[in-house]
Chains A and B, each alone.
Chain A
Amino acid sequence: MVIRTYNEEQQYLEKISSCAWKIKKGFVPNMKVEGVFYANDALEKLMFDELKNSCHSQGFGGFLPGMKQIANVAALPGIIGKSVGLPDVHAGYGFAIGNMAAFDMGDPKAIVSPGGVGFDINCGVRLLRTNLSEKDVSPVKEQLAQSLFDHIPVGVGSKGVIPMTAKDLEEALEMGMDWSLREGYAWAEDKEHCEEYGRMLQADPAKVSMRAKKRGLPQLGTLGAGNHYVEIQVVDEIYNKFAANKMGIEHKGQVCVMIHSGSRGLGHQVATDALVAMEKAMKRDKIEVNDRQLACAHIRSQEGQDYLKGMAGAANYAWVNRTSMTFLTRQAFAKMFHSTPDDLDMHVIYDVSHNIAKVEEHFVEGKQRTLLLHRKGSTRAFPPHHPLIPVDYQLTGQPVLIGGTMGTCSYILTGTERGMQETFGSTCHGAGRALSRAKSRRNLDYTDVLGALSEMGILMLILIKF
């Protein structure tokens, strides 16, 4: 790997618009296409700081800066278009978070890579509406929160509430939301407002390992920790009344519920299993990559197909998970307000995935092509009149749900034609790092602790920094 100075690196980067940068071929070896990333001034600074730090420490393995990762993806076999970084693109395992990459299904060399989907397969966001207002909910905030916690268990080692046997899990992996519908946990119209109608048909439970199933079984209907959440939200501002009305959002102060969750342990195991299998197969198939974490396989190979079927199963599991939480949320609200979910108008506005790989039709240089799109930390955003979006959103375009972090707003956007052209209908997934940067400022101080530990003689080797 070539080590350059920061100035040298900058030769390969060109600002092409007020919020877009081009990464030219040569930034890393073997780039087949160019890279592009979108960033405003603030995010641009973060991206370049990340690059600068990496140049100074002569980064080797470890954590690569997002820009390098986008370029390494551009070096993968069969990539078509550009390797795209949606804001706030930042370092991830293999692919950066926010990296979208499309591969030509017609090219026998084209690959699929689990790093391009992420470990939390089908991590996504679902938004429910209600006909309640802020003034209805404010006085009972704590009780409502408690009621949600009682219905939806959280945290390490927590058990699910919806009883599930191993057989149920098999069916859920295969059928996705159709399983929930059959069991009575979903409304029929929920499916309409979900990508893939909440079920990827190519799923095969046999391609999900026993260990993955064991991890998934106790976690169904639980929220998980970290950046997953169920959040009660209030509409702050409506910029497009027509689109909002189509989604059932009528006025400011309207109460909605946002569920952010994925496949958790099961997804992690599916991804881990695939990475191991693919690493082995790469030598056999003579696939070369710039970064070991970009383990991949030819789409048509056994490993590639196995992964896509397992990934689809994990995706189905995540939809069942979000549906179960929808069910529990509806119960919690109904109990709280002595009503029914139906009377509270608690419909699903939409459900988007931001860690997934999909087969889609797109126009590339005027020709229609079938592509395998990897979206990691990136949301699909189809424009009006696209055949894959629900009838009631045909005029507005697909709703795009962007979850905020604690203390920042969430947004609902709609897909545009321009997005379709520039990024194969993909956009960002979350509020970005600005807040976690603040979180990371810590005053690290070890003196007392180290003293105690070394006295105990229990440390064989301490690796500390910062």
Chain B
Amino acid sequence: MMEHEFKYAVIGGGIAGVTCVEQLSALCPDDKILLITASSVVKAITNISKVTSILEDFCVVEKPSVYISENCPNVTVKQTRVTNLQAQKHKIITDEDEYEYGKLCVCMGGTPNIISKNCSYVLGIRDTESVQEFQKRIANAQRIMIIGNGGIATELVYEVEDCEVIWAIKDKSISKSFIDAGAAEFLLPQLSQDKQSSTGSAPTKRRKYTIDGNKFRDIGHGTGTALGPDWSEGLLLKGLDKISHNVKIEYNVEVEAVMEKDEYRITLTDAEQDALSVWPVYVKLTNGTVYGCDFVVSATGVTPNTETLLKNNKFEVAEDGGLKVNDKMQTNILDVYAAGDICSAFWNPSPTWFQMRLWSQARQMGSYAAKSMVSHTRNQDILMDFCFEMFAHVTRFFNYKVVLLGRYNAQGLSTNYELLLRVTKGKEYVKVVLKGGQMQGAILIGETDLEETFENLILNKMDLSQYGEDLLDPNIDIEDYFD
């Protein structure tokens, strides 16, 4: 018998959605929960049995519903696409059926922005589907172009081997949204070095995420789930040539035009045409340079996936296109919550927190939204999860561990702050942001062992002015000092 009524429903099988469902299941083991996902479910893996080759992990594939219901027996998973939401009637309408919910959390993420929508040589890379596509194409490529300056672009530039890469960014320094120019300068030398062999065999200290879905049905464009922190692990990102890294960076440029081979040829003189090296696609940058390449990767961010929801419901939408949510993750529509890339945090945040569309925040929001939903059902008070007190994100760029805490780039502090800096070439980069003697944020690159100490100092709001620049003196064991 088909279930049609559920106490809680979640739309979206990415990290936000899966975390939300898991949390709901843990809090309400007796209630019926529905998870609707248009494509493969991102699987959160807790017990990895390290086998001889990383690729073998990916061959162990289960269907999403089996995985979730094994761990959460009160959850039903439907792999189908939502076509409409009738929020007043508490109804979700899909390709195949209709469902009623008590409370709903939408975690539908965002759609990748593609610089040129119609060109088949331009590949957006943001979600699980597009990564698979990328893998196929890179195997036959000698040169590619990567457009974008965020986390995915940064990671991709480093991961790709045996292929020439032209990296075009609109900023003056790489990875602008994550690190400052100084840290960028610190990281650059890694690009001219041979890529270190994958650290895949060392145990990972964090919950791992992977893509579960070689067998998913192709439902339609733009329905893949967003990439998690380990998206590149186990993927063969190798091109044709035998070179480790060959990266050229073009700063301060945007894409003016993307032209296929013939389209471009006819703009040239005969002599130029003869001299031209032949590529399938050509990209003209705003600085006048034209590059030919096998294909172009557009890693230029996402637009929140609100189209379906806005068809029949008057959600309040923020400037960046996301659904506005309050400090309980509620949208303006009764019983509808939102988490992850699709939402825009519209409460008055703690001074050291801000929203960034990252997998770590997706997970935190998914979890907190679940707690919020349950507490409202039970008429209980709920306090905001402490993770929203201070921004914290850990990632890996160019084979270095990168930890970002609080207002790590002095975001929103205008000119009223001080910086402390300590750099050891090739090893570590430590930058601290201070305001009024209090630590507001920090960037830690490399194995600094300072993340917990600095997290505590930021949260303690301690007055550090008496230490001045001695705070980063390497001869003081500062971790121990504040222990």
Q: Are B392 and A452 in contact (CB under 8 A)?
A: no
Q: Are B181 and A268 in contact (CB under 8 A)?
A: no
Q: Is B310 an interface residue (CB 8 A)?
A: no
Q: A156-B405, A453-B180, A462-B421 are in contact. Are A90 and B477 (CB under 8 A)?
A: yes
Q: Is A458 an interface residue (CB 8 A)?
A: yes
Choose one: A159, A163, A446; the contact of B421 (CB below 8 Å): A446
Choose one: A61, A62, A227, A456; the contact of B172 (CB below 8 Å): A456
**Which residues of the partner chain B approach A377 to less than 8 Å between Cβ atoms?**
480, 483
Q: Kindly provide the distance from the CB of A267 to the nearest chain B CB, expressed in whole angstroms.
A: 9
**Which residues of the partner chain A approach B420 to less than 8 Å between Cβ atoms?**
462-464
Q: Are B47 and A147 in contact (CB under 8 A)?
A: yes
Q: Are B477 and A226 in contact (CB under 8 A)?
A: no
Complex alpha-carbon distance, A451 and B173, angstroms: 12
Smallest Cβ-Cβ distance to A97: which chain B residue: B480
Q: Which of B56-64, B119-127, B135-143, B204-212 contacts A (4 or more CB under 8 A)?
A: B204-212
A409-466 contacts to B (CB < 8 Å): 433, 436, 440-446, 448-453, 455-456, 458-466
Q: Are B206 and A158 in contact (CB under 8 A)?
A: yes
Interface string of B416-452 (1 = CB under 8 A from A): 0111111111011100000000000000000001111
Q: Is B271 an interface residue (CB 8 A)?
A: no
Complex alpha-carbon distance, A268 and B462, angstroms: 11
Q: Is B320 an interface residue (CB 8 A)?
A: no
Q: Are B469 and A465 in contact (CB under 8 A)?
A: yes
Q: Are A355 and B483 in contact (CB under 8 A)?
A: yes
**Which residues of the partner chain B approach A446 to less than 8 Å between Cβ atoms?**
421, 423
Q: Are A444 and B423 in contact (CB under 8 A)?
A: yes
Q: Which of A210-218, A314-322, A339-347 contacts B (4 or more CB under 8 A)?
A: A210-218
Complex alpha-carbon distance, A218 and B367, angstroms: 12
Q: Is A334 an interface residue (CB 8 A)?
A: no
Q: A214-B383, A268-B456, A456-B172 are in contact. Are A449 and B421 (CB under 8 A)?
A: yes
Q: Which of B65-73, B182-190, B257-265 contacts A (4 or more CB under 8 A)?
A: B182-190
Q: A440-B474, A456-B173 are in contact. Are A146 and B481 (CB under 8 A)?
A: no
Q: Is B341 an interface residue (CB 8 A)?
A: no
Q: Are A93 and B386 in contact (CB under 8 A)?
A: no
Q: Kindly provide the distance from the CB of A24 to the nearest chain B CB, expressed in whole angstroms.
A: 26
Q: Are A445 and B467 in contact (CB under 8 A)?
A: no
Q: Is B46 an interface residue (CB 8 A)?
A: yes
What's the interface size class on A, roughly?
Answer: 35 or more
Q: A93-B481, A142-B203 are in contact. Are A448 and B452 (CB under 8 A)?
A: no
Q: Are A461 and B172 in contact (CB under 8 A)?
A: no
Q: Kindly provide the distance from the CB of B458 to the nearest chain A CB, expressed in whole angstroms.
A: 11
Complex alpha-carbon distance, A446 and B422, angstroms: 8
Smallest Cβ-Cβ distance to B48: which chain A residue: A146
Q: Is A58 an interface residue (CB 8 A)?
A: no
Which residue, of A63, A377, A433, has the highest number of chain B Cβ atoms within 10 A?
A: A63
Q: Is B316 an interface residue (CB 8 A)?
A: no
Smallest Cβ-Cβ distance to A120: which chain B residue: B483
Q: Are B483 and A443 in contact (CB under 8 A)?
A: no
Interface string of B195-215 (1 = CB under 8 A from A): 000000111111100000000
Complex alpha-carbon distance, A355 and B387, angstroms: 26
Q: A215-B459, A440-B474, A456-B181 are in contact. Are A156 and B466 (CB under 8 A)?
A: no
Q: Are A226 and B453 in contact (CB under 8 A)?
A: yes
**Which residues of the partner chain B approach A462 to less than 8 Å between Cβ atoms?**
419-421
Q: Are A449 and B423 in contact (CB under 8 A)?
A: yes
**Which residues of the partner chain A approach B181 to less than 8 Å between Cβ atoms?**
452-453, 455-456, 458
Choose one: A146, A156, A166, A443; the contact of B451 (CB below 8 Å): A156
Q: Are B455 and A269 in contact (CB under 8 A)?
A: no
Smallest Cβ-Cβ distance to B420: which chain A residue: A463
Q: Are A119 and B387 in contact (CB under 8 A)?
A: no
Q: Are B185 and A227 in contact (CB under 8 A)?
A: no
Q: Is B53 an interface residue (CB 8 A)?
A: no
**Which residues of the partner chain A approach B425 to less than 8 Å between Cβ atoms?**
443, 445, 448
**Which residues of the partner chain A approach B474 to less than 8 Å between Cβ atoms?**
440-442, 444, 466
Smallest Cβ-Cβ distance to B403: which chain A residue: A156
Q: Are A156 and B424 in contact (CB under 8 A)?
A: no
Smallest Cβ-Cβ distance to A161: which chain B residue: B46
Choose one: B183, B429, B452, B467; the contact of A224 (CB below 8 Å): B452
**Which residues of the partner chain A approach B367 to less than 8 Å between Cβ atoms?**
159
Which residue, of B364, B386, B453, B469, has the highest number of chain A Cβ atoms within 10 A?
A: B386
Q: Is B49 an interface residue (CB 8 A)?
A: yes
Q: Are B48 and A119 in contact (CB under 8 A)?
A: no
Q: Are A443 and B452 in contact (CB under 8 A)?
A: no
Complex alpha-carbon distance, A459 and B207, angstroms: 37
Complex alpha-carbon distance, A268 and B454, angstroms: 12
Q: Is A92 an interface residue (CB 8 A)?
A: yes
Q: A92-B483, A225-B452 are in contact. Are A153 and B422 (CB under 8 A)?
A: no
Known: A63-B473, A449-B429. 18 other contacts (CB 8 A): A91-B476, A91-B481, A93-B481, A142-B203, A156-B451, A157-B394, A159-B367, A214-B386, A224-B452, A265-B456, A443-B424, A444-B424, A448-B425, A452-B184, A453-B180, A455-B181, A460-B419, A463-B469
Enumerate 13 A-B pairs (CB-CB under 8 Å) in ascending A order: A63-B467, A63-B470, A91-B476, A92-B480, A93-B482, A153-B206, A156-B405, A225-B452, A268-B456, A272-B462, A449-B421, A456-B173, A458-B180
On A, residues with C-beta under 8 Å from B are 61-63, 90-93, 97, 118-120, 123, 142-143, 145-147, 149-150, 153-159, 163, 166, 214-215, 217-218, 224-228, 264-265, 268-269, 272, 355, 377, 433, 436, 440-446, 448-453, 455-456, 458-466
On B, residues with C-beta under 8 Å from A are 26, 46-50, 172-173, 180-186, 201-207, 360, 364, 367, 383, 385-387, 389, 392-394, 403, 405, 410, 415, 417-425, 427-429, 449-453, 455-456, 459-462, 466-470, 472-477, 479-483
